[in-house]
Structure 1
């Protein structure tokens, strides 16, 4: 039987250690919290990998802003995937859209293929797609294993009914991972509406970029 698990978005080395020490099942490593997370530098990736025994996914996002990328940016993303595969990461997190708000299947497939056999998560670019149902099918067709989304809401609470709908449509073909403003204060509400899944939180509870160990423990208590 499937069970709930917890992924912590980590913006620095300290958060990664805190996540592991307090029961997280996996981390998503990134930098630049104010930009919503961008590709971490290789020194950080190596340092975290050397000191972490839990699974570690790395975001591949060359800049903040929209999710439409130039050929140069796509090349940069490919190079990062090639390099980080060699460093022993467990998966990648990215998402590419077209100007019209649809999923760029060609570019996403190239990256998923390059990442193989590591698993790929389609990140919160999904929160700005125009057609949720078609985009879900496109993401599945690209070979992603997970979609990280707030259900197109400002946060997971606002997107809760959309999350439930996407999860129902996805069936067992892809995992729907709620993320965006997820905290111990609202995770119970989500569990009432959703099937068991991975939950995603930065577990940050103050003016800092570092995860709060007590918040991670609280999140795990609910799972």
Structure 2
């Protein structure tokens, strides 16, 4: 541990990732915990139970699990909400360290009733309200609602596309939150701007995505065939958390 880290033991780094190997890399790099998702192209969906079990078998790092049944908005149907409740119960029973979710009404407000049900089913685990927060009408009103619900932390980019763009709002959210809830800036934080964002915002936890590209094991490349949709990425390059990048950010504490 560097001398800088020793001076700031309260500051925590959470790494957003979508594979078991990435969890191993985050742990190796010194992350404090991970947010385990699937499909980060969609902003993060619920991971498979099999992947979670495998990760739990090979790692000891705390794993917060994303509960999000689909991409797109955060206004869910009854069946989607029922799925979320079931996933909360499943991952809680399997040893998740915290539950991550976000759910809104059609008019851009925190869905208090459904959020309360998810929290009740998650307890005694901590809960994080994710960047659905950034899609609400009024960040300060939404903050007070999450505090009323007893949410432990909110992941937010300050109601802007990225943390650097939302830095002013994040400063105010941290100030208003005080010790009532943890404000965790996330989206657009990297090695290049982490020290600056930490100094400006003054939060105690930060959410980062620090991947690298690695080649797949495939030697035969049929380039004319794609498994995805219109926005195509190579089938033969994989995204994986880079332990060295995680370690570098930890060194900036």
Shared fold (TM-score greater than 0.5)? yes
**Number of the residue aligned with 1:137:** 144
Residue by residue over 1:47-94, the C-alpha shift from the partner in whole angstroms, topping out at 9 and shown as x without a partner, is 111122121100000000000011111100000011111111100100
**Number of the residue aligned with 2:220:** none
RMSD value, Cα: 1.3
For structure 1, list consecutive stretches of 5 or more residues without a partner in the other structure.
none
Q: Residue 196 of structure 1: CA displacement?
A: 4.2
Q: How does 1:80-95 map to 2 (within 5 A)?
A: 80-95=87-102
Q: How does 1:185-204 map to 2 (within 5 A)?
A: 185-204=192-211
Q: Residue 2 of structure 1: CA displacement?
A: 6.7
Distance 1:200 1:167 in 2: 15
Q: How does 1:89-168 map to 2 (within 5 A)?
A: 89-168=96-175
**Number of the residue aligned with 2:77:** 70
Residue 221 (1) aligns with residue 251 (2): yes
Q: Which stretch of the first structure deviates more once superposed, 14-23 or 188-197?
A: 188-197
SS of equivalent to 1:173: coil
**Match for residue 210 of structure 1 among 240, 245, 248:** 240
Distance 1:174 1:208 in 2: 36
Indicate if the aligned counterparts of 1:3 and 1:196 stay in contact, CA closer than 8 A: no
Distance 1:106 1:201 in 2: 30
**Match for residue 13 of structure 1 among 17, 20, 25:** 20
Residue by residue over 1:27-52, the C-alpha shift from the partner in whole angstroms, topping out at 9 and shown as x without a partner, is 00000011000000110011111122
For structure 2, list consecutive stretches of 5 or more residues without a partner in the other structure.
1-7, 214-236
Larger radius of gyration: 2
Residue by residue over 1:144-197, the C-alpha shift from the partner in whole angstroms, topping out at 9 and shown as x without a partner, is 100001111221111111111111111110000010011011111111122341
Residue 51 (1) aligns with residue 84 (2): no
